[in-house]
Chain A
């Protein structure tokens, strides 16, 4: 974590902050540019916050539940800050930063019951049937969230929460059918996969404090992190609920400062969530509808491999939307910027349909 900052830099950052300026030109309440990159699989999201990059990958499997909570599925977080992110981290060791990040993500997403774990139950058998109280015939989904900090340029906590939130919303598990004791898991091409049932979506907002706690900035960059004296992480959702708070050490804060940060966090979360909403609306519309196209999908190879979808969201504008197949660009387009001013899903969907139709005809012409 030791990012060495010279005294000049330090005093420059603090001096600038005391005048309400930041070294990268942001205002003190601004986040850096937020980007999401959705992978070809469901639940594969890379979130970028400025240059900080965090990858979240969700996978699901059917497992036997624990004996105490036999009707609840699992939500497991596996969080890794590797030396790839920053040379300050070592491999394979449970570092302080890693534990901190794990705990805050778990608090945010597990302890505040984001995913309805009861909804992940597949078969809840009869418990009396076996003496050992083991639930052999029970089956639940285990949702595993792997989070990797790829590039640490400050404030990976917010970035990780963005990645996990987007991944949870993007993820689809295969559909299942139960007949007697048999559980059939359908391929995603045969039946449309099922989204997770999410109660709410928290995001983390980090407020950093400088000097003796009187200077303040949202979303510290790496340079600011090395200068800051304290940090308050607030996990909040758009319903104005606080899901997690972490303030550890550093400068002591007063009650008023905390309340003020909470107010700021709500405004920020509303902004970020609406950005994410827009992004996901585009992505989900562009997912080929597996139920309708299942036969078509098998014959049509590019639909069979869900194309990689890349888009970036900034300032409420959606641009650079591209659907890329494994090797070549199948569809690439610039979604016009006016989309940003119209936020309703129908206009987004319509534009996207137009673009897809266009690229289909172009493809037809080419062949």
Chain B
């Protein structure tokens, strides 16, 4: 399969008709649940993610986890059993989900102003409804929105994006499942897009070091693009919420 299909055609289009530096369509919605303190739904291409945030609240369970100078961020990643082509046996607890949970926690801890909430805990629950590549970045983006909806102070948006290298030359943004299967290296970056700081980076498969610069730059560009999209969504959500409470009339 990998032999006769190219990631990037001669005229520069990808398998799903995108250009190399195009993101998939991102649609998102804040405040989808009432029970959690904050929630968000995000679609990135066909990948669909739900995120819910509880807290900050008192540390539950093992009290010894509590930190005197910062809040504990607890993340749980799970994939719905129907989210992949083959029905999953267990939604969470396998090695891959545990790894994503750990990475999610690391990316979010870097963005949340945890020092404002000593002795407390913030829970982030993320559920994948439909997996179509780029699960981890979509989860980070959804979790950011949910944190904003919960009103938790962030240093800035934390956005994540994948990038790959097509035909050993052209960096490609936002890898879909189809492209993941065909192969090629995948670089996942979670960054604070405004300051350009990278909070998490991982890569699988291999490419030459000379390409690292441009693939990384492309991934960071993707993070910045995603930040704009999320920013728009947050603004329009605030406007909706605000106008429904009649803030336009207060002036």
Q: What 1/0 mask marks residues of chain A from 246 to 272 whose CB sits below 8 Å from any chain B CB?
A: 111110111100110011001000000
Counting CB contacts under 8 A, is A245 at the interface? yes
User: With A102-B95, A241-B207, A245-B187 as given contacts, are A258 and B216 in contact (CB-CB < 8 Å)?
Assistant: yes
Q: Chain A residues near B103 (CB, 8 Å)?
A: 248-249
A-B contact pairs, 15 of them (CB 8 A): A100-B99, A102-B95, A113-B205, A244-B203, A247-B201, A248-B102, A248-B200, A249-B105, A249-B110, A252-B110, A252-B191, A253-B198, A254-B196, A254-B198, A258-B216
Establish whether residues A259 and B212, one from each chain, have CB atoms under 8 Å apart when the complex forms.
Answer: yes
Counting CB contacts under 8 A, is B106 at the interface? yes
B198, closest chain A residue (CB): A253
Establish whether residues A266 and B102, one from each chain, have CB atoms under 8 Å apart when the complex forms.
Answer: no
A232, closest chain B residue (CB): B201
Q: What 1/0 mask marks residues of chain B from 206 to 219 whose CB sits below 8 Å from any chain A CB?
A: 11111011001100
In the A-B complex, the 3 residue pairs with the smallest Cβ-Cβ separation, listed nearest first, are A249-B106, A252-B197, A245-B203
Establish whether residues B198 and A242, one from each chain, have CB atoms under 8 Å apart when the complex forms.
Answer: no
Measured CB to CB, the residues of A under 8 A from B are 94, 96, 99-100, 102-103, 107, 111-113, 200, 202, 232, 236-237, 239-250, 252-255, 258-259, 262-263, 266
Tell me, in angstroms, the Cα distance from A112 to B200 when the chains sit together: 20
Establish whether residues A247 and B98, one from each chain, have CB atoms under 8 Å apart when the complex forms.
Answer: no
Q: Chain A residues near B172 (CB, 8 Å)?
A: none
User: With A112-B204, A246-B202, A247-B200 as given contacts, are A266 and B107 in contact (CB-CB < 8 Å)?
Assistant: no
Chain B proximity of A359: nearest CB distance (Å): 43
Q: Chain A residues near B209 (CB, 8 Å)?
A: 236, 240-242, 262-263, 266
Tell me, in angstroms, the Cα distance from A178 to B98 when the chains sit together: 43
B103, closest chain A residue (CB): A248
A106, closest chain B residue (CB): B204
Chain B proximity of A165: nearest CB distance (Å): 15
Counting CB contacts under 8 A, is B26 at the interface? no
Q: Chain A residues near B95 (CB, 8 Å)?
A: 94, 99, 102-103
Establish whether residues B212 and A242, one from each chain, have CB atoms under 8 Å apart when the complex forms.
Answer: yes
Establish whether residues A111 and B99, one from each chain, have CB atoms under 8 Å apart when the complex forms.
Answer: no
Counting CB contacts under 8 A, is B199 at the interface? yes
Chain A proximity of B169: nearest CB distance (Å): 15
Q: How many residues of B contact A (CB 8 A)?
A: 34
Counting CB contacts under 8 A, is B220 at the interface? yes
A233, closest chain B residue (CB): B202
Chain B proximity of A298: nearest CB distance (Å): 44
Tell me, in angstroms, the Cα distance from A232 to B99 when the chains sit together: 16
Tell me, in angstroms, the Cα distance from A243 to B204 when the chains sit together: 6
Chain B proximity of A56: nearest CB distance (Å): 20
Tell me, in angstroms, the Cα distance from A252 to B107 when the chains sit together: 9
Q: Chain B residues near A200 (CB, 8 Å)?
A: 206
Counting CB contacts under 8 A, is B109 at the interface? yes
Tell me, in angstroms, the Cα distance from A208 to B141 when the chains sit together: 27
Tell me, in angstroms, the Cα distance from A202 to B83 when the chains sit together: 34
Establish whether residues A262 and B212, one from each chain, have CB atoms under 8 Å apart when the complex forms.
Answer: yes
Q: Chain A residues near B199 (CB, 8 Å)?
A: 249, 252
Counting CB contacts under 8 A, is B192 at the interface? yes
Establish whether residues A252 and B204, one from each chain, have CB atoms under 8 Å apart when the complex forms.
Answer: no
Q: Chain A residues near B217 (CB, 8 Å)?
A: 255
Tell me, in angstroms, the Cα distance from A239 to B209 when the chains sit together: 9
Establish whether residues A240 and B201, one from each chain, have CB atoms under 8 Å apart when the complex forms.
Answer: no
Tell me, in angstroms, the Cα distance from A266 to B210 when the chains sit together: 12
Given A242-B209, A255-B213, A255-B216; 10 other pairs, CB 8 A cutoff? A100-B102, A103-B95, A111-B204, A237-B206, A240-B210, A242-B206, A247-B201, A249-B109, A250-B106, A253-B201
Establish whether residues B203 and A242, one from each chain, have CB atoms under 8 Å apart when the complex forms.
Answer: yes
Establish whether residues B205 and A111, one from each chain, have CB atoms under 8 Å apart when the complex forms.
Answer: yes
B107, closest chain A residue (CB): A249
Q: Chain A residues near B105 (CB, 8 Å)?
A: 249
B76-135 with Cβ < 8 A to chain A:
95, 98-99, 102-103, 105-107, 109-110
Which residue in A96, A241, A250 is a CB contact (below 8 Å) of B206? A241
Tell me, in angstroms, the Cα distance from A103 to B98 when the chains sit together: 11
Q: Chain B residues near A254 (CB, 8 Å)?
A: 196-198
Establish whether residues A255 and B204, one from each chain, have CB atoms under 8 Å apart when the complex forms.
Answer: no
Establish whether residues B198 and A252, one from each chain, have CB atoms under 8 Å apart when the complex forms.
Answer: yes
Establish whether residues B102 and A96, one from each chain, have CB atoms under 8 Å apart when the complex forms.
Answer: yes
B158, closest chain A residue (CB): A252
Tell me, in angstroms, the Cα distance from A240 to B103 when the chains sit together: 27
Tell me, in angstroms, the Cα distance from A255 to B219 when the chains sit together: 11
Q: Chain B residues near A103 (CB, 8 Å)?
A: 95, 99
Q: Chain B residues near A246 (CB, 8 Å)?
A: 201-203
Establish whether residues B207 and A252, one from each chain, have CB atoms under 8 Å apart when the complex forms.
Answer: no
Establish whether residues B201 and A99, one from each chain, have CB atoms under 8 Å apart when the complex forms.
Answer: no
Q: Chain B residues near A248 (CB, 8 Å)?
A: 102-103, 106, 200, 202
Establish whether residues B208 and A241, one from each chain, have CB atoms under 8 Å apart when the complex forms.
Answer: yes
User: With A111-B204, A242-B212, A266-B209 as given contacts, are A255 and B102 in contact (CB-CB < 8 Å)?
Assistant: no
Which residue in B196, B205, B216 is a CB contact (below 8 Å) of A112? B205
Chain B proximity of A42: nearest CB distance (Å): 27
Tell me, in angstroms, the Cα distance from A243 to B186 when the chains sit together: 10
B186, closest chain A residue (CB): A111
Chain A proximity of B185: nearest CB distance (Å): 8
A247, closest chain B residue (CB): B201
Tell me, in angstroms, the Cα distance from A107 to B212 when the chains sit together: 17
Chain B proximity of A250: nearest CB distance (Å): 8
Tell me, in angstroms, the Cα distance from A249 to B114 when the chains sit together: 14
Residue in A94, A107, A202, A247 whose Cβ sees the most chain B Cβ within 10 Å: A247
Q: Chain A residues near B204 (CB, 8 Å)?
A: 107, 111-112, 244
B201-251 with Cβ < 8 A to chain A:
201-210, 212-213, 216-217, 220
Tell me, in angstroms, the Cα distance from A111 to B205 when the chains sit together: 5
